[in-house]
Structures are given as structure tokens and as C-alpha cells.
């Protein structure tokens, strides 16, 4: 099972914003702090902004802020904003997946994994991650 680079980078970037909500942070500062490629992070922030998870301001005093309280932003919100799904099989969603013969039960296993991942991500808020109050 893989976690996409986009999802990893998005959660790490929002954790940086949640850790110091008193001021905006630039994409460059977050990229440097987290060791994330700057150009890739800019694309991730575009998705996060479109999903309403961050807001931005241009200029020398500009940067990014969280658009919502970290306690109201789950890791599921972040992953769905950048990936569109919790789990895919060869890049495809698990909806409508079906196999024949001895492998007929396998789609149920994959969906069960997806349900577990969904539960973990929907019950973990950004504030839990930053406050290290994880109960996974």
C-alpha cells in the first residue's frame, strides 16, 4: 500500500501552518522546513486552496494560512483534497471492482482496507497531529 507524495506533503505542510497560526508562512519556508520540493509543494497548495483548506495572500507580508480551525480539519479532508480517494488499485477507485473465481472475495478485502483507512483519517484532526494526541 502506498501513500501518495501529494498526500504526505499536504499533511506535512498543513501541520506546519497549524503549529504556528499567528502568521502566514511562505511556500518556500514550508518547503525548506519539511524538505519538500518547492515546485511540487506549489501544486499541492493549489489543490488545498481550491478545496478551501488554506487561504493565501500575495506580497511581502503574504503567504498561506489555514482556512479552518485545525480541530475541524481531518487528515481525510486533506487526503481527499489532493488525491480524491483514500485508496486506489492501479490508480482506479475501488467502486465497481469485481473478480471471478477464487479471487471473487478480494474486492471485499480491498474495500475493508479502505474503510479502515477512512476511519483513521476521519477521526484524526490536524490539531491531533500537531498536538501529538494520536490514538491510532
Cβ-contact 130, 70 below 8 angstroms:
yes
pLDDT at 90 over 90: no
Is residue 92 predicted with pLDDT exceeding 90?
no
Residue 132: predicted pLDDT: 65
CA torsion, ordered 10, 15, 18, 19, to nearest 10 deg: -150
**pLDDT value at 1 more than 80:** no
pLDDT attached to residue 22? 83
Residue in the structure block whose three cell numbers are 514550508 = 30
State pLDDT tens for residues 43-83: 999 999 999 999 998 877 779 999 999 999 999 999 999 99
pTM of the model: 0.87
H or E segment and range at residue 64: strand 63-66
Which DSSP letter does residue 67 get? S
Amino acid at each position: 500500500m502506498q501513500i501518495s507524495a501529494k498526500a504526505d506533503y499536504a499533511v506535512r505542510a498543513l501541520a506546519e501552518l497549524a503549529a504556528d497560526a499567528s502568521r502566514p508562512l511562505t511556500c518556500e519556508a514550508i518547503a525548506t522546513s519539511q524538505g519538500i520540493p518547492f515546485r511540487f509543494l506549489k501544486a499541492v497548495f493549489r489543490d488545498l486552496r481550491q478545496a478551501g483548506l488554506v487561504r493565501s495572500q500575495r506580497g511581502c507580508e503574504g503567504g498561506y494560512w489555514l482556512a479552518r480551525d485545525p480541530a475541524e480539519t481531518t487528515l481525510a479532508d486533506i487526503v481527499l483534497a489532493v488525491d480524491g480517494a483514500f485508496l486506489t488499485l492501479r490508480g482506479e477507485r475501488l467502486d465497481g471492482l469485481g473478480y471471478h473465481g477464487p479471487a471473487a472475495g478480494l474486492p471485499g478485502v480491498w474495500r475493508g482496507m479502505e474503510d479502515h483507512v477512512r476511519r483513521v483519517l476521519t477521526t484524526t484532526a490536524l490539531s491531533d497531529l500537531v498536538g501529538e494526541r494520536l490514538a491510532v
